[in-house]
Amino acid sequence: MYIPSFDDVLAAEARIKPHIRRTPVLQSDYLNALTGAELFFKCENLQEPGAFKVRGASNAVFGLSEAQAARGVATHSSGNHASCLSYAAMRRGIPCHVVMPSTAPQAKKDTVRRYGGKITECAPSTSAREETFAKVQAETGGDFVHPYNDPRVIAGQGTCALELNSQVPDLDAVIAPIGGGGMISGTCLTLSNIAPNTKIYAAEPDQADDAARSFRAGHIIADDAPETIADGLKVPLKDLTWHFVQSHVSDILTASEPEIIDAMKLIWKRLRIVMEPSSAVPLATILKNPDLFAGQRVGIIITGGNVDLDRLPWQ
Amino acid sequence: MYIPSFDDVLAAEARIKPHIRRTPVLQSDYLNALTGAELFFKCENLQEPGAFKVRGASNAVFGLSEAQAARGVATHSSGNHASCLSYAAMRRGIPCHVVMPSTAPQAKKDTVRRYGGKITECAPSTSAREETFAKVQAETGGDFVHPYNDPRVIAGQGTCALELNSQVPDLDAVIAPIGGGGMISGTCLTLSNIAPNTKIYAAEPDQADDAARSFRAGHIIADDAPETIADGLKVPLKDLTWHFVQSHVSDILTASEPEIIDAMKLIWKRLRIVMEPSSAVPLATILKNPDLFAGQRVGIIITGGNVDLDRLPWQ
């Protein structure tokens, strides 16, 4: 297991700069008054493909040798990683092979295809996915870019905290949602090097609280297919992300489904941005733990903005 | 009639700087490809009270003498001007009196009151509004800040184009929605001084096209209560805004209600921001007139983001 270093983050920053957006940091007096904290929202939902995952995906894609690039990349994902990897591959002009369950929403398939990703469908089970993916990889020679348990991906995600720290120095805390732990790991990697006094919190749905239980137990606990509206946060930690979580995270906080939906609507209304339920979990946990954050300068990573406008959760 | 000068814009910029946000400019590769133009969205919806009108309102409020400030400000409006003037007055700690029709939405009244505005309700007619407003002003001595036909307000709105031009120089065109013409007038005032080669377009709903008809006729035409989903754009031009429109605007383009709704959803989905129907009119007209903008660098003012999330127009 290669553990990425802060030098890898700096290399990633230089590598991906032409391919990602420097996203703005937004504030709301209303939300500051409501929480008693000074909140800085880092809007990764405003990346072109709508998610921070374009950072890690771009770092993997643009770091490939010419020989490997010719064979392209491959992954299995039905979420933002699939579209972000396709987007990055499109920018480099190389193939991207994505294994997706046949049951994935049509909109997700459409996005991957719009970015030139080649989808191979599989039955919606872990064994079918692994079998299909092995076949696709053998046939294409595509380099496997895991959605989060990959040092290149974690180093890429670490560039987000680097940007945030330059936009808003001296944060007391940074909080981000945790699913597989890619964003949190990158944040740990960066901040432990450049801002070791900034505490790092992770936020998770009550209904998919495997990372919180792992954190308390001291070892990875993986749930089988948890159900939550925060659909980006259903996946478990893996060895590499677990390393960063157990080394640098101060705590993992959780919120209920109604709390997540309320926080989502609050951000849409007060910050006036379109973001996913997953991105609302940090604010939901801050509202639930006001004493922990009162009087502090807190960075919040808004991780993604791909949401079905015809099916909003408060309707 | 005092016509504000570019020096008034520069003075406004210095005066309001501590009280407004420098809003980000966002881009979307998707929307660029769709229109064949390079679009730069200036996001005034991300102002704290959710609209560019905080600029003009703050310029008026913070330019008052101490003696006048003690008596406060007054206006009649049921839209963003009422809440932005209340917000600016709250920041200076002075009274703000707002005359609103009794039929105004409860949410609008709540926002004005949250910012400390004192509402006097009137019957929903022009005569009742004028009578009530005259009475309120006589009783309070509040300084009348018109929503747009006021040199202080126009100079304040002109700071938006100043910011945009420093964020994105060398624009071929800037397009903004037109209702009473405050934003367009401020844009004309600024760009005619600092970027005279940048063309200025105004965008208006077909169903409230009084400015477009005024433009062609060569004199102000005011409609009586037009109906459009773009509720910020129902008011007519007045002498001061007409001066700028006829002097500096290249054309006034219009779009239908379905075209406005489609453009609104497109911006929510691709730019991932929450904005009002009024703010979608410029993109709707660009999509309708692709040849006019193809290959150009175009600034689009997103004027406001106060919208009822429970009643979105595509539902």
Question: What crossing angle do the helices spanning A182-194 and A151-167 adopt, rounded to 10°?
Answer: 50
Q: Is B264 on the interface with A (CB under 8 A)?
A: no
Q: Which residues of B touch A46 (CB under 8 A)?
A: 26, 271-272
Average pLDDT of chain A to the nearest whole number: 96
- The three-class DSSP label of residue B155 is helix
Spell out the long-range contacts of A130-136 with Cβ–Cβ below 8 A and sequence spacing 24 or more: A132/A76, A132/A99, A133/A74, A133/A76, A133/A99, A136/A74, A136/A97, A136/A99
Q: Which residues face B201 on adjacent strands?
A: B175, B251
What pLDDT sits at residue A224? 80
What is residue A200's predicted lDDT score, i.e. its pLDDT?
Answer: 98
Choose the closest CB to A265 out of B21, B28, B309. B309
Min Cα distance A27 → chain B (Å) is 8
Which residue is closest to A272 within chain B, CA to CA? B274
Residue B139 burial (10 A CB sphere; 0-12, 13-18, 19+): exposed
pLDDT at A152 over 90: yes
Strand A73-76 with A249-255, pairing: unpaired
Across A100-114, average pLDDT: 90
* The pLDDT value given to residue A87: 98
Nearest CA-CA partner of B77 in B108, B123, B51, B54 = B108
- B121 versus A106: the higher-pLDDT residue is B121
| Start-end of CATH 3.40.50.1100 domains in chain A | 6-51+150-302, 54-144
**Cα nearest neighbour of A264 on chain B:** B309
Which of A25, A268, A274 to substitute to test the interface with B, most B CBs within 10 Å? Answer: A274
The interface predicted TM-score (ipTM) is: 0.95
Q: Does B304 touch chain A (CB under 8 A)?
A: no
Distance CA B148, CA B51 (A): 13
User: What is the C-alpha to C-alpha distance for residues B223 and A309, in angstroms, rounded to an integer?
Assistant: 34
Interface check for B26 against chain A (CB to CB < 8 A): the answer is yes
- Residues pairing with A38 in the sheet: A297
Set of chain A residues whose Cβ sits within 8 Å of the Cβ of B24: 24, 26
User: What is the model's pLDDT at position B36?
Assistant: 98
| B25 interfaces chain A, CB cutoff of 8 Å | no
pLDDT surpasses 80 at A315:
no
- At residue B127, the pLDDT reads 87
What is the model's pLDDT at position B106? 86
User: Which CATH number is A6-51+150-302's, of 3.40.50.1100, 2.40.10.10, 3.65.10.10, 3.40.50.20?
Assistant: 3.40.50.1100
| Residue spans of chain B under pLDDT 50 | none
Specify the amino acid at residue B249.
V
Q: Give the A:B interface size as CB pairs under 8 Å.
A: 53
Which chain A residues contact residue B115 at CB under 8 A?
none
In this prediction, residue A1 has a pLDDT band, given cuts at 50, 70 and 90, of: confident
Q: Is B263 on the interface with A (CB under 8 A)?
A: no
At A178 the pLDDT is: 98
pLDDT at A103: 87
CB of A275 within 8 Å of a chain B CB? The answer is yes
Q: Does A54 touch chain B (CB under 8 A)?
A: no
Asked: is B54-144 a CATH 3.40.50.1100 domain? The reply is yes
- The shortest CB-CB distance from B272 to any of A269, A273, A314 is to A273
* Residue B311 vs residues A298, B142, B307: alpha-carbon distances, Å: 32, 35, 8
The percent of residues in chain A predicted with pLDDT above 90, rounded, is 92
What pLDDT shows up at residue B104? 85
Residue B74's nearest CA partner among B118, B104, B129 is B118
Q: Cβ contacts (< 8 Å) between B26 and chain A: which residues? A: 24, 46
CB count within 10 Å of CB A139 equals: 11
Give per-residue pLDDT as tens, A54-93. 999 999 999 999 999 999 999 998 789 999 999 999 999 9
